[in-house]
Structure 1
Amino acid sequence: MKLSVSGRAAATGVVASVTLLVCGSIAGAAPAPLAAAPDIPVANVKAHLTQLQSIATANGGNRAHGRAGYQASVNFVKAKLDAAGFTTTVQQFTASGRTGYNLIADWPGGDPDQIVMAGSHLDSVTSGPGINDNGTGSAAILETALAVSRAGYQPTKHLRFAWWGAEELGLVGSRHYVNNLSATDRSKIDGYLNFDMIGSPNPGYFVYDDDPVIEKLFKDYYAGLGVATEIETEGDGRSDHAPFKSAGVPVGGLFTGASRTKTAAQVAKWGGTSGQAFDRCYHSSCDTTSNVNDTALDRNSDAVAYAVWELSE
C-alpha cells in the first residue's frame, strides 16, 4: 500500500465479470445450479509468497519499481498465468526515471462488454520484500485466477486480473492503465475489486465501503463465517482502486490493516494484540514470509474467489 495519499490521480478502470460454468442438462431436465466458488488452498497462496520472497532475496532484498526484483516478480506471475491458459499483456510505463510494468491477464471468452476485474499491486517498497504489502493480495488473486483455469470456466461475463506496478510511488501503474482506456472501454467495466495487504500479522477485517453492492457482498460473506468486519478507512484512496473509482467504476476490496494500532475493542472482536500495529513490519525489511497471519490470508483468499464468482453471475 502506498504510504502517502498525495499524487493520486483520477482514472478509469476495466473490470472483468466472470460467469460460472453451468452444467449441461438433459432434455426436459432442469438446468444444474451455478457452481459455487471454490475453496482457495492457502498452502498454494503461501507457496506463491515463498517464491516472491526468494525473488526479493536474490535481488537486493526488494521487489520495487524499476528494480530486477520487480521484473522477476512479473515474469513469475506471467509464467503461471500463461501456462494456465490466460491471455497476458504487459503494459509498460515510466515513473521516476525507471521503466515499470502492469501485468494484465484475460480469461478467454465471456461477454467483452461486461468485465469484472480483480487487481493487486505487485511492487514492494525499496526497504523490504513486501510480502504482506502486497505479496498477499498478489498471491491471492493469482491463485484465484488459477482456480478459474482448474475449473475450466466458460463465463458469461469476461474476467480480467491485473498486477500493478509502481503503486508505492503513487498508484502510477493503475493510473496509467485507467487513463489509457477509451471511454468505451471504461464503460465496459462492471466493477473492480482491489486486494492490498490481506494477511497482516495482527489482522483486522476491513471492507471497502465505496460501492454498496460490493460492500454488502463482503460483509455478508464474513457474517457467514461469524467474523465481524469494519469499514476500511486507513487506506481509503491510497491503493489501486482509487483511479477506477475516480473514473466512475464501482470498486470494492479487503484490507487487514497497516501501521494503525489495534484497539482493545478490535481485539475483543478479532483477537490479536491491543496497542500494537496491525502490521509492525509495514514498509520495512521485516515484511517477509514470517510477517503473515495464515488465518487472515486463508479467509481473505476464499473471499476473493467468492466475490469473483458472485459478481460474475
Structure 2
Amino acid sequence: MKLRTISTALVVTGALLGSGLGSATAAPPSTLAGPDIPVSAVQADLGRLQSIATANGGNRAHGRPGYLASVNWVKSKLDAAGFTTRVQSFTSSGATGYNLIADWPGGDLNNVVMAGGHLDSVSAGPGINDNGTGSAGLLEVALAVRSSGFQPTKHLRFAWWGAEELGLVGSTYYVNSLSTTDRSRIDAYLNFDMIGSPNPGYFVYSASGQPSGSLALQQTLQGYFGSIGVPTELTSVGGRSDHAAFARAGIPVGGTFTGAEGIKTSAQAQKWGGSAGVAFDRCYHRSCDTSSNVNATALDRNTDAIAHAVWTLAA
C-alpha cells in the first residue's frame, strides 16, 4: 500500500446499510460461493516471494530485479493453469515497470469482473504483507478457477500491478490505456492490498463516495464475513491503493484490508483480538515485513473472501 500521511478513516458502525455506511454485522448472511482456498498454498507462495526478495537484494521494488522475478514467477503459474497472460510495460522514475494481466478464457467479454493488487514492494524490504499477501491470495484464487472447473458467466480478469508504491503508477497506466469502450465493459474492480496484517483488523472498502455499483461489491464482501461470524468495519482508503485509478474512471470498486500503520483501538481489539495500542502492521514499509510478518487466520479469511466475491460477481 502506497504510503501517505493520512490515517485509515473508519466509518461509524450502526448506520443503515443501504446508505453505504455501517458494519458487516448489519449485512444479511449470504450463501457462501467459491471454494475454500487452502491457506497453506497461499503461505507457500509468500515463501516463494520471500525467497525472490532474498536472492535479489532484499526487496521486490519497482525497477529492481526482484520485482521482475516476481512477475515472471506469477506469470509462469498462470500460464501453466491455462490463463491468457500479458505483461504491460511502462516507465516510471527512469525505470521500466510491469503490470501482469491474466484473463480466464470464456465468459462475456462485455461484462468483465476484475480482481487485482500490487506486486511491488518498497525498497526497504521484501514486502510480504504489503503486498505479497494480496498478490498470493489473488494467485491462489485464480488457480482455483482452473482446478474447480468454474465456468463464469462474466469474463474474469486478474491483475498484479507495478509501481503502486510510487503512486499507483501501474494501475493508472493500465486504466488510461483502455479505450472508453473497454472501460465500460468492466463491471467491477476488486482490490486486495495487505490482507494478512499481524495485528489484523477486518476492513471492507466503503462504497460511500465511490462510483455507482460499488455498494453491491461492499455488501458482497460484508456478506461473506457476516456468514463466517467475523464483524467488519468500513474504511475509506482514498487514494492509497490501486482501486483509485478505476474509481476515477467511473468503474465500481471494492476490496478488503487488514490495516497498515494505523493503531488498533481497545474496541477493535475486543472485537477482533490482537493488541490494542499497537499498529495493525508494525513492520509496514520496513525491512521486517517478511514472511513471519503475517497473520495466518486473517490471510485465510481474506483469501476466501476474494474467492467468494469472484464466484458471486462473475456467476
What TM-score results when the alignment is normalised by the length of structure 2? 0.89
Deviations 1:267-299 (A, max 9, x none): 010000010000000000000000000000000
Q: What amino acid sits opposite 2:47 in the alignment?
A: T
Shift of 1:220: 1.3
1:191 aligns to what SS in structure 2?
A: strand
Shift of 1:225: 1.2
Shift of 1:5: 7.3
Shift of 1:35: 9.9
Are 1:171 and 2:168 matched, yes or no?
yes
Paired with 2:217 and 2:183, the residues of 1 have a C-alpha distance of: 18
% of aligned pairs identical? 70
Paired with 2:150 and 2:195, the residues of 1 have a C-alpha distance of: 26
Are 1:306 and 2:303 matched, yes or no?
no
Are 1:293 and 2:298 matched, yes or no?
no
Unaligned runs of 5+ in 1: 7-33
Deviations 1:242-290 (A, max 9, x none): 0100100000000000001000000010000010000000000000000
2:307 aligns to what SS in structure 1?
A: helix
Aligned residues between the structures: 285
Q: Where does residue 47 of structure 2 map in the other structure?
A: 50
> Greater shift after overlay, 211-220 or 177-186?
211-220
Q: Where does residue 24 of structure 1 map in the other structure?
A: none
Shift of 1:155: 2.1
Q: How does 1:239-254 map to 2 (within 5 A)?
A: 239-254=241-256
Q: Where does residue 262 of structure 1 map in the other structure?
A: 264
1:237 aligns to what SS in structure 2?
A: coil
8 Å CA contact 2:196–2:294 kept in 1: the answer is: yes
8 Å CA contact 1:5–1:237 kept in 2: the answer is: no
Unaligned runs of 5+ in 2: 7-30, 208-213
Paired with 1:219 and 1:86, the residues of 2 have a C-alpha distance of: 29
Shift of 1:152: 2.4
Q: How does 1:1-313 map to 2 (within 5 A)?
A: 1-4=1-4, 36-210=33-207, 211-233=214-236, 235-313=237-315
Q: Where does residue 12 of structure 1 map in the other structure?
A: none
Q: 1:154 to 1:223 in 2, by over 3 A?
A: closer
Deviations 1:2-52 (A, max 9, x none): 00279xxxxxxxxxxxxxxxxxxxxxxxxxxx9941000100000000000
Shift of 1:209: 1.0
8 Å CA contact 2:134–2:194 kept in 1: the answer is: yes
> Greater shift after overlay, 53-62 or 35-44?
35-44
Q: What amino acid sits opposite 2:262 in the alignment?
A: R
What TM-score results when the alignment is normalised by the length of structure 1? 0.89
8 Å CA contact 1:198–1:297 kept in 2: the answer is: yes
Q: Where does residue 22 of structure 1 map in the other structure?
A: none
1:153 aligns to what SS in structure 2?
A: coil
Shift of 1:178: 0.1
Q: 1:35 to 1:280 in 2, by over 3 A?
A: closer
Paired with 1:46 and 1:168, the residues of 2 have a C-alpha distance of: 23
Moved over 6 A (4+): none
